[in-house]
Structure 1
Amino acid sequence: MAGSKREKIKMSADEAAAYLAASFKVQVATIGKDGAPHLVTMFYALLDGKIAFTTYKSSQKVLNLRRDPTMTCLVEDGVEYGELRGVALYGQGLVVEDPEPRLKVGAVVGSRMAGLPVPEMGAPVDPGFAAGLEQAMAKRVLIVMEPDRIVSWDHGKA
């Protein structure tokens, strides 16, 4: 039965949360003005358990989300079929202008990208890094994924 196979490979809520916490790249789809999907890969951090990333205020994904907040996120990995696993989140992308959460996410993502030790969300960072971070975040906004539906799979469970 197809339903039982699907249920076998589905991650539990805890497994999906742990998988998202251990990953850092997400494929993000928004809807362009012509109705076509706009797909990009972003580095992310979890903010209160939700996928969050910063991007330039004038980026295409921000323009799309301001027009239509529909967004899909996909975090996946694996090479061979039996290794494939992932989490797809369907919902809305919220554009957040507030500098405090933007800096928190920016510190985690920026540290990862720079090859520095990754701070806990909201932990103090090196003052030199913080100054550069504030400057880098000045032209950016925070996008937070608010999922309505989550689908997961782990073919290693089959």
Structure 2
Amino acid sequence: MAVTQRRGRRIMMSPGELDAFLTEKRTCRVATVSAGGQPHVGALWFAWDGDSLWLYSITRSRRWAQLRRDPRIAVVVDDGEEYGELRGAELSGAVVFVGESPRTGEACPELAEPERLFARKYFGMDEMPHDGRHAWLRLTPGSVASWDFRKLPAP
């Protein structure tokens, strides 16, 4: 994972902190752009494998159509209520479509680990249930910016 953050280094998460954060959190916000340049943001569940963010998206969504046209994406995962609790990460790059679309469970070795992680995280199962409506996007981020305001000195 490329970490290119320059500003805010004192509140930047360490690689271990970032890995734990992305493994633990359940919802991200995904930003895409339409052909006319209009932004679109939506929430998705995801799995983090230590290198890539795996997004399980409905294939008949605006997001899917926009990413087919332009695979560039920005994803934010964040947490906290009060200012001193805020923490998060922004990952950006280009997605890759992995497996069949929509996903029906055909053998795909590259999806074995993400599907195991996702099934345990969201369904409490060891195997991924396939609904024939979703498919996989992999984001191996080109850039990552993170923040953890809990690292700021107390006022």
TM-score (norm 1): 0.77
Displacement of 1:80: 0.6
Counterpart of 2:61 in structure 1: which amino acid?
S
Q: In structure 1, what is the Cα distance between the partners aligned to 2:135 and 2:112?
A: 10
Letter of the 1:19 partner, please give it: F
CA contact (8 A) 1:53 1:105 kept: no
- For residues 71-115 of structure 1, the C-alpha deviation after alignment (integer angstroms, 9 at most, x for no partner) is 00000000111000001001112222354345654454345444x
CA contact (8 A) 2:51 2:140 kept: no
Distance in 2 between residues matched to 1:52 and 1:111, nearest whole Å? 14
Query: What is the CA–CA distance in structure 2 between the aligned matches of 1:54 and 1:156, rounded to whole Å?
Result: 31
* C-alpha contact 1:65 1:94 (8 A) present in aligned 2: no
Tell me whether 1:109 sits opposite 2:151 in the alignment.
no
Structure 1 range deviating more: 23-32 or 102-111:
102-111
Runs ≥4 residues deviating over 6 A = none
Ranges in structure 1 where 5+ consecutive residues have no aligned partner: 120-124
Tell me if structure 2 keeps the 8 A contact 1:53–1:106.
no
C-alpha separation between the residues in 2 aligned to 1:81 and 1:53? Answer: 28
C-alpha distance in 2, partners of 1:150/1:107? 25
Q: How many residues align?
A: 140
Structure 2 counterpart SS, 1:147: coil
SS in 1 for 2:8: helix
TM-score by length of structure 2 reads: 0.78
Q: Could you say if the C-alpha distance between residues 43 and 156 of structure 1 is closer, same or farther in structure 2, counting changes exceeding 3 Å?
A: same
RMSD: 2.3
State the partner residue of 1:15: 17
Q: Which has the higher helix share?
A: 1
Q: Higher mean Cα deviation, 49-58 or 71-80?
A: 49-58
**Structure 2 residue corresponding to 1:144, chosen from 117, 138, 145:** 138
Give the residue type in structure 1 aligned to 2:147: W
CA distance in 2, matches of 1:17, 1:104: 16
1:1-50 deviations in Å (ceiling 9; x for gaps): xxx98221111122111111111211111111221111111111124531
Counterpart of 1:44 in 2: which secondary structure?
A: strand
- Determine the C-alpha separation between the residues in 1 that align with 2:55 and 2:47: 6
| Amino acid in structure 1 at the alignment position of 2:34 | G
